[in-house]
Amino acid sequence: MIVSNDNRLPPLNGLVLIGGRSLRMGSPKEKMRWHGKEQVYYLADMLGNYCDEVYISCRAEQLDEIAGDEDIAPAYAWLSDRYTDIGPMGGILTAFEFRPDRAWLVVACDLPLIDSEALAYLIQHRDPQRIATAFKNPQDSLPEPLFAIWESSSLPILQQMQAQHKLSPRRALIQHQALSIEAPHVNTLVNVNTPAEADSVKAMINNND
């Protein structure tokens, strides 16, 4: 099901985060093929059904490798982090400073079980009066900042936190009372950081096919 971005709300852009170094995995998580194509492009294509514009957030040094991928990479829009070594907050800040008039639907590349149903559900429950709308992680009931809609009102908050070296996006969601909602499926927020976790998720996907 395709859900259009409501014209009465601030415009919604999509952001795929691939800037992590995948040290525990041992290979780039954004290149894993969970659904027939590299995860970075799978997520970007899916976000394209719901967002006005979609960008892929990466480290500056990743752009050199991306430039060599002449078959696919030019079809996508890329944002190089303006902030180095501060984790996903750097990617989110870079996106907001690039287009501060937009809300951003942020998705991390290590969430292989995100699907169109979850995206549509998040958008349908969006509250633009809050700084963000996020799913609750079923493991600890805390909001998941890396599959969430961040409103433009969150930019000064994130900028202040970065200036104070407080680099946890989740902390921003908790302290500023973002809307937290239950995910449509218990496995929606399963993330993959190690080969063992990857094997477990592959088994989940194969069992559902």
The per-residue b/e assignment along 152-162, b for 16 or more CB within 10 angstroms, e otherwise, is: bebbebbeebb
Paired tokens of 147: 């599959």
Q: Is the pLDDT reported for residue 1 higher than 50?
A: no
Structural domain harbouring 18: 12-208
pLDDT in tens, 144-183: 999 999 999 999 999 999 999 999 999 999 999 999 999 9
14 labelled binding-site residue: no
The alpha carbons of the chain give a radius of gyration, in whole angstroms, of 16
Neighbours of 113 (CB within 10 A): 20
How high is the pLDDT of residue 64?
A: 73
18 labelled binding-site residue: yes
Question: Which residues, including other chains, have CB under 8 Å from residue 30's CB and lie 6 or more apart?
Answer: 16, 18, 38, 39, 40, 109
How high is the pLDDT of residue 28?
A: 75
Share of the chain above pLDDT 90, in %: 64
81 labelled binding-site residue: yes
Among 102, 133, 137, 130, smallest CA distance to 119 is for 133
69 labelled binding-site residue: no
Of 5-9, 43-47, 176-180, 200-204, the least confident? 5-9
Instruction: With both helix axes pointing from N to C terminus, report the angle between 88-98 and 155-163 in degrees, rounded to the nearest 10.
Output: 130
70 confidence band (pLDDT: 50, 70, 90): low
The separation between the first and the last C-alpha atoms of the chain, rounded to the nearest angstrom, is 19
56 labelled binding-site residue: no
If one counts the domains in the chain, the total is 1
The answer as to whether 6 is a domain residue is no
**Mean of the per-residue pLDDT values of the chain:** 88
Handedness of CA 121, 126, 130, 132 (dihedral sign): positive
64 labelled binding-site residue: no
The answer as to whether 1 is a domain residue is no
CATH code of the domain covering residue 159: 3.90.550.10
The answer as to whether 56 is a domain residue is yes
Edge-to-edge order in the sheet of strand 179-181 = 77-80, 54-58, 12-17, 103-108, 143-150, 132-136, 179-181
pLDDT in tens, 84-99: 889 999 999 999 999 9
Query: What pTM was computed for the model?
Result: 0.90
How high is the pLDDT of residue 68?
A: 61
